[in-house]
Amino acid sequence: MNRLLSGITAFTLLVAGSASAQSSLPLDYRSSSSLGFFITGYADLSFGIFPAGGNKSLLMTELDLGFRPPDGGFGYALGIDAFALRDPGADMNKIAFYPAVTYGTDFGTFSAGIPRSVLDRGYLARPNLAASRFYDLEFYQLSGSTLAYTYLFTKNNPYGLRYDVSFGATSFGASYHRINSGGGTNVVALAIRHDFAAISSPYRFAAFAGLENARSGGGFNKTNYMIGVEGGSDQVNAGLSYRRDAFLGNIQVVTLFGEYRINDFTFSAAVMNFNPGPPTQFGIGAEYRFNDNAYANISMLDNSSPGFNPIYEFSVGWRF
């Protein structure tokens, strides 16, 4: 957690520096396909026991709500990412809003305002370390777009456009955002997902890929790449993803994650390997769901660093 709390990445520093000289698996991160009014996401409170640094608490939420007209035309969407971290060393509170006007046509959906990057909703499976919110926050930049990370931590509004379209089982999205700090930074993201048809089988399978490029007039030009697969049934789900993050010095991250559901319980496990970078991270967790949308989760997190003591986390929350 200290890596996240002690500084912001090279892309974030570029935006903030320019401004001063003159950003579980149990949760389905794909956008809701429902027409009419919709709300998806979660809100929960987590308590963590850390081997160094004492106990910490984290209130965290990621929500998407809005309206999609059944016959197309104008609608709206609002995304909200927020957290409040209580840490004996350094408290932190952040919030980011994603308001957008949408327009549905026979050729896809257009969004304008501050839409989410296509890397954050709709296409990619978001790696999760045993449903741990503390690790979600620790590796926030490595689980979605760098744009979302920068926006949440710098408050530089990324105005832009987004386009989503589906051709049968294949979905494609593109987004463009402009951050007007200093000389300005342009961020372009592309994502594609293909869901393979499950013929006479309870199993489903999907492949996905995406990229994100950010460049500024000052010569900054970096690109992230992501690719992966996921699949399973109503009881078992698993996935494998690869990411090369140029904003973090071309670090490569491979994440293997899976879950098993039985009645109201979900058991999950994940491994996140870095090259180069932090030690390999491991996580196991168990979640109990009740009253349809409420849940309680307990996780144990560890890594390959010699002498590292596990982190224990307990959370309760509501899934929309």
pLDDT given for residue 12 in this prediction: 39
User: Residue range 176-205: average pLDDT?
Assistant: 86
**To which residue do tokens 């919709």 refer?**
38
* Residue 20: per-residue pLDDT: 33
pLDDT at 200 (0 to 100): 63
Return the SS3 of 52: coil
Which pair of tokens denotes residue 228? 């992966």
Round to whole Å and give the CA distance between 287 and 27: 12
For the chain, percent of residues with pLDDT exceeding 70: 88
Distance of CA 69 to the CA centre of its chain: 26
pLDDT (average), residues 220-233: 92
Average model confidence (pLDDT) across the chain: 85
Q: Round to whole Å and give the CA distance between 88 and 127.
A: 28
Distance CA(11)–CA(68), nearest Å, equals 34
Of 13-17, 34-38, 262-266, highest mean pLDDT: 262-266
- The answer to whether 301 touches 310, Cβ cutoff 8 Å, is yes
Token pair for residue 209? 């890929």
Mean local confidence (pLDDT), 289-310: 91
Which of the two residues, 155 and 291, has the higher pLDDT score? 291
Give the separation between CA 309 and CA 272, rounded to whole angstroms.
Answer: 17
Q: Which H or E run includes 69?
A: none
pLDDT at residue 182, rounded to an integer: 65
C-alpha span between 235 and 15 (Å, rounded): 44
Helix (H) or strand (E) holding 6: helix 2-6
pLDDT digits over 74-102, tens only?
Answer: 999 999 999 999 988 788 999 999 999 99
Identify how many contiguous H helices and E strands the chain contains and give both numbers.
Answer: 4, 16
Mean of the pLDDT values across residues 163-188?
91
Residues 198, 23: Cα–Cα separation, whole Å: 40
Distance set, CA 258 to CA 100, 135, 235, 290, 291 (Å): 33, 16, 11, 21, 24
* pLDDT band at residue 66 using 50, 70 and 90 as cut-offs: very high
* Chain-centroid distance, C-alpha 241: 13
The rounded distance, in Å, linking the Cα atoms of 306 and 320 is: 40
User: Can you tell me the distance from the alpha carbon of 40 to that of 51, in angstroms, rounded to the nearest whole number?
Assistant: 34
